[in-house]
Amino acid sequence: MCGIIGYIGGKNCVPILIEGLKRLEYRGYDSAGVGLIENNTPVVIKKKGRVAELENKISKLKIDSSVGIAHTRWATHGEPNEVNAHPHVNKDSTIFLVHNGIIENFNELRTDLQNKGFEFRSETDSEVLVQLIDFFMGKDVSLFDAVRYAMNMVKGTYGIAIASTHVPEKIIVARKGSPLVIGLGNGENFIASDVNAIISYTSSIVYLDDGEIACVQKDSFEVKNIDDELIEKEIQQVKISIDSISKGNYAHFMLKEIMEQPVSVKNSFRGRLLFEEGSSKLGGLQGFETRIANSNRILICACGTSWHAGLVAEYMIEQYAGIPVEVEYASEFRYRNPIITADDTCIFISQSGETADTLAAMKEAKRRGALVLGVCNVVGSSIARESHAGVYIHAGPEIGVASTKAFTSQLVVLALITILIARTKHLSLVDGQNILRELDKIPSKIQQILDNHAKIEKIAEEFIDSKNFLYLGRGYNFPVALEGALKLKEISYIHAEGYPAAEMKHGPIALIDKNMPAVFISPVDSVYEKVLSNIEEVKARKGRIIAIATEDDNYIDKIVDYVIKVPNTIRMLMPILTVIPLQLLAYHIAVKKGLNVDQPRNLAKSVTVE
Ligand code: G6P
C-alpha cells in the first residue's frame, strides 16, 4: 500500500525523491520519510502527514545527496507517527530500509534479535528487516548477501529498498508480493514501487519478479534470485504521458478522471471492434477463445469497484454467452476450498493489477488448473504478468483513490470479452453488430451526461448534511447501485448502502423517513415498472428520491424529487452511463463538505496487503 522511490546517480536526489513521493502519495499518505547519504553521512528525515510537510522540513536543511530512498506510508502495524514512518535504520543509522508489504513472522524474529541485543524503536513489522540485515552484516557479509539471507528468513510480502553508508555506491532492492521496478537512466538509475513515480525521468523499466533481489548502481544493475543465481532481465519501454499523471487544470484527479471518460472509454475499445464479423478483437486472448467459450463455468474474482464490474459481467456473459458465471470477493475465494477444475475460466479484474487478495486468488486458481485471465489497467502489473492471458483496459493512469474511469473501461472490456465468447456460441452476426454500434456511441453519450454536470452539482448541494443514503437498482443496474454507494462512502464518509431495489422490502425499508435519500437507478428497461413500484414505496414513506432515468422518460419527473437523465442504450451497456451521475454526485457532495476527495481518510489506491 505504501509507495517507494529511490535514486542513485550524479544529481541531488532530494527534489527527485520528493516529486516521486508526491506521485506515489495516492498509495499511502499518513507519513513519509527519506534516507539519504550526504558526504558518506547518513541523513534520515521523517514526518507525520502529507509529503508536502516532509518537503517543508527538508527544504530548510539544504541537503545535497546523490543517493537516497524514500517512502510514503499507509500504516499496517503501528500508528502513523514519525517513529513508525520509514526509512527504518539500524542502531548506528548506517543502514536504512523502506518496506511495502507485511512481515508475518516479525514478532518471532524481533524476539530473537532482541535476545541477541538488538534494540527496536518502532512498533512496525518493517523494522525487523533492517535489524536482521544489520545482524548479518555484523558477520562480515556483504549488504547484498545480508538482504538475501534476511529474505530467506522472513515470511510475508515485501518490496524493499536498502541503502547503507558502508556501500554508498549501491541500492539493494528485493521483491516478494509487492511491486518493485528499476528505471534505467544515463549515469543514474531509479527504483520505485510504481512506474508513475519515475516516468518523468526514464521509460526504460525492469520489472522485478517475486523472489528476486537486485543491486542497483548509478550505471549498472544486476538481478539475482534468492539462491544467488544471476537472472537475465528484459528492459521494457513503458509509455505513459506526463499529462496523464498530472491534474492539469482540474481541482482534483477524481474530477479529471470522471471528465476523461469519453476518451478513456474510447481507448478501451479502440481498434477492438470488428464490425464486419460482429465480434471483437482482443489480442491478449488470441488462441484462448475456444477454451474460454467451452468453459463449464466462468468465475470472476476481484475487490472493491472491480468486483462491481465483475457483477455487471455476470449479467452480460450469462445473457449473451450462456455460460454460468459466479462472482466472488477475492479475499473470500482464497481462504475457502474453492471447487475449480481445468474446465473453468477464472477472470481476475484489477485496476492496479497488484491487489494482494486478487493476486493470491489468481495464483490459487492457477494452481488448481483453471485458465486464468487478467483484466488490468496497469501495464506490466503482477496480475497482468502472472495470468495465462488477458486484456488491458487502457484507461490510462488512475490516480484518484476512488476508482471512476477504470470502472467504465472495465465494463467496456468485459462487454468485448462477452461478445467474443458469445459470437462463437449463439449470438447472431446482426445482434453482435448491434452491440458494437451501441458501444461505439457510448463516448458521446457519456459526454452528454458530463455536459449536465452543473445540474448534478446543484442536486449535491441539497444532500451535504445527509447521514445515510440508499442506492437501489435492479438487473444490470444493481451493481451500479453498489458502486454508487461505495463512491459516496469512500469520499464523503456518508453511510450508504446499495441494494437490489426489490430487496428493499426485506429490511432497508425500515430505515426510510423524510431524512433518508434514496437514489434509484431506473432506466426504462424490462424491470422499469417494478422499479417504479419500489419508488412509490419509498415515496409513501416520505423518503427523498433522486432518480437516474433515461432521457425519454417523462413520467418519472412527476413522481420523484430530483431526476438526472442519461441517454438510452442497450441494457448491457447501460451501467457505463448510469454510473457517471453517481460518480459526480459523490464527488460534489464530498467537495462541498470540504473533504480531500483524492486522498480520503484511511483508504489506499492499491491494497497490496491482505
Ligand atoms: C482499493 C481502492 C478501490 C479499488 C480496490 C480494488 O480498495 O480504493 O478503488 O476498487 O482497491 O483495486 P484494484 O486495483 O484491484 O482494482
Is pLDDT at 548 greater than 80 in this prediction?
yes
* CA distance readout (Å), 424 to 5, 155, 249, 414, 508: 46, 45, 46, 16, 42
- The residue nearest atom 5 of ligand 1, judged by CA position, is 304
pLDDT band at 335 (very low <50, low <70, confident <90, very high): confident
Mutate to test the pocket of ligand 1, among 327, 348, 351, 488 (most ligand atoms within 8 A of CB): 351
Question: Which of the two residues, 525 and 588, has the higher pLDDT score?
Answer: 588
605 as an active site residue: the answer is yes
Mean pLDDT calculated for residue range 185-207: 95
Mean pLDDT calculated for residue range 33-62: 92
Cβ atoms of 258 and 409 within 8 Å: the answer is no
- Which residues partner with 89 through β-bridges? 96
Cβ atoms of 72 and 26 within 8 Å: the answer is no
pLDDT band at 539 (very low <50, low <70, confident <90, very high): confident
User: Could you tell me if the CB of 362 is within 6 A of ligand 1?
Assistant: no
CATH of domain 3-240: 3.60.20.10
Mean pLDDT of the chain: 94
Ligand 1 centroid from CA 281, angstroms: 27
Report the pLDDT value the prediction gives residue 1, as an integer from 0 to 100: 66
Mutate to test the pocket of ligand 1, among 607, 609, 610 (most ligand atoms within 8 A of CB): 607
**Residues contacting residue 50 through CB under 8 Å, at least 6 positions apart:** 25, 29, 32
The cell numbers describing 250, all together, are: 482540474
User: Could you tell me if the CB of 358 is within 6 A of ligand 1?
Assistant: yes
Q: Which letter does DSSP use for residue 500 in this model?
A: E
62 as an active site residue: the answer is no
Same fold, 3-240 and 452-603: no
Model confidence pTM above 0.75: yes
Q: Which atom of ligand 1 is nearest to the CA of 304?
A: 10
Cα separation of 607 and 178, whole Å? 10
Mean pLDDT calculated for residue range 345-362: 95
Report the pLDDT value the prediction gives residue 73, as an integer from 0 to 100: 87
Q: Which atom of ligand 1 is nearest to the CA of 306?
A: 16
Report the pLDDT value the prediction gives residue 530, as an integer from 0 to 100: 86
Cβ atoms of 183 and 23 within 8 Å: the answer is no
Is pLDDT at 62 greater than 70 in this prediction?
yes
Report the pLDDT value the prediction gives residue 481, as an integer from 0 to 100: 98
Ligand 1 centroid from CA 353, angstroms: 9
Quick one: three-class SS letters along 248-285? CCCCCHHHHHHHCHHHHHHHHHCCCEECCCCEECCHHH
State what percent of residues in the chain have pLDDT above 90: 81
Cis ω on the peptide bond leading into residue 523 (within 30° of 0)? no
Mutate to test the pocket of ligand 1, among 25, 254, 306 (most ligand atoms within 8 A of CB): 306
Report the pLDDT value the prediction gives residue 380, as an integer from 0 to 100: 86
* CA distance readout (Å), 569 to 15, 314, 524, 555, 566: 49, 19, 10, 19, 9
Instruction: Report which residue type is found at 232.
Output: E
The domain limits of the chain are: 3-240, 249-444, 452-603
Ligand 1 centroid from CA 391, angstroms: 18
Cβ atoms of 54 and 46 within 8 Å: the answer is yes
pLDDT band at 604 (very low <50, low <70, confident <90, very high): confident
Most confident region among 28-37, 49-58, 451-460 by mean pLDDT: 451-460
Q: Is 46 helix (H, G, I), strand (E, B) or coil?
A: strand
Q: Is 246 helix (H, G, I), strand (E, B) or coil?
A: coil
CATH 3.40.710.10 fits 452-603, yes or no: no
* 474-504 per-position pLDDT tens digit: 999 999 999 999 999 999 999 999 999 888 8
Q: How many residues does the chain have?
A: 610
User: Could you tell me if the CB of 410 is within 6 A of ligand 1?
Assistant: no
Question: Which of the two residues, 58 and 512, has the higher pLDDT score?
Answer: 58
Report the pLDDT value the prediction gives residue 255, as an integer from 0 to 100: 97
Which is the catalytic residue, given 47, 176, 489, 605?
Answer: 605
Is pLDDT at 592 greater than 70 in this prediction?
yes
Cβ atoms of 201 and 190 within 8 Å: the answer is yes
The cell numbers describing 582, all together, are: 453517481
User: Could you tell me if the CB of 607 is within 6 A of ligand 1?
Assistant: yes
Ligand 1 centroid from CA 346, angstroms: 19
Query: Pairing state of beta strands 325-329 and 344-350?
Result: unpaired
- The residue nearest atom 8 of ligand 1, judged by CA position, is 605
Give which of 411, 352, 345 is closest to 379, Cα–Cα: 352
Mutate to test the pocket of ligand 1, among 1, 258, 303, 489 (most ligand atoms within 8 A of CB): 303
Cα separation of 309 and 327, whole Å? 10
**Phi/psi at 398 (5° precision):** -110, 115
Is pLDDT at 406 greater than 80 in this prediction?
yes
Mean pLDDT calculated for residue range 469-476: 95
User: Could you tell me if the CB of 382 is within 6 A of ligand 1?
Assistant: no
Cα separation of 582 and 564, whole Å? 10
User: What DSSP assignment string belongs to 432-495?
Assistant: HHHHHHHHHHHHHHHHHHHTTHHHHHHHHHTTTT-SEEEEEE-GGGHHHHHHHHHHHHHHH--E
Q: Which CATH number fits domain 249-444: 3.30.540.10, 3.40.50.720, 3.40.50.10490, 3.30.420.40?
A: 3.40.50.10490
Ligand 1 centroid from CA 267, angstroms: 21
Mean pLDDT calculated for residue range 295-318: 97
Cβ atoms of 387 and 373 within 8 Å: the answer is yes
- The residue nearest atom 7 of ligand 1, judged by CA position, is 304
Ligand 1 centroid from CA 222, angstroms: 33
Ligand 1 centroid from CA 133, angstroms: 33
User: Could you tell me if the CB of 486 is within 6 A of ligand 1?
Assistant: no
Element at 317 (helix H, strand E): helix 304-321
* CA distance readout (Å), 607 to 3, 76, 273: 11, 11, 33
Ligand 1 centroid from CA 70, angstroms: 24
* 68-93 per-position pLDDT tens digit: 999 998 877 778 888 899 999 999 99
User: Could you tell me if the CB of 304 is within 6 A of ligand 1?
Assistant: yes
Q: Which atom of ligand 1 is nearest to the CA of 604?
A: 8
User: Could you tell me if the CB of 306 is within 6 A of ligand 1?
Assistant: yes
* 117-172 per-position pLDDT tens digit: 999 999 999 999 999 999 999 998 999 999 999 999 999 999 999 999 999 999 99
- What are the CB-based long-range contacts (under 8 Å, 24+) for 147-151? 147/172, 147/174, 147/213, 148/174, 148/213, 148/224, 148/226, 148/228, 151/176, 151/211, 151/213, 151/226
**Residues contacting residue 115 through CB under 8 Å, at least 6 positions apart:** none
The answer to whether the Cα torsion of 481, 484, 488, 489 is positive or negative is positive
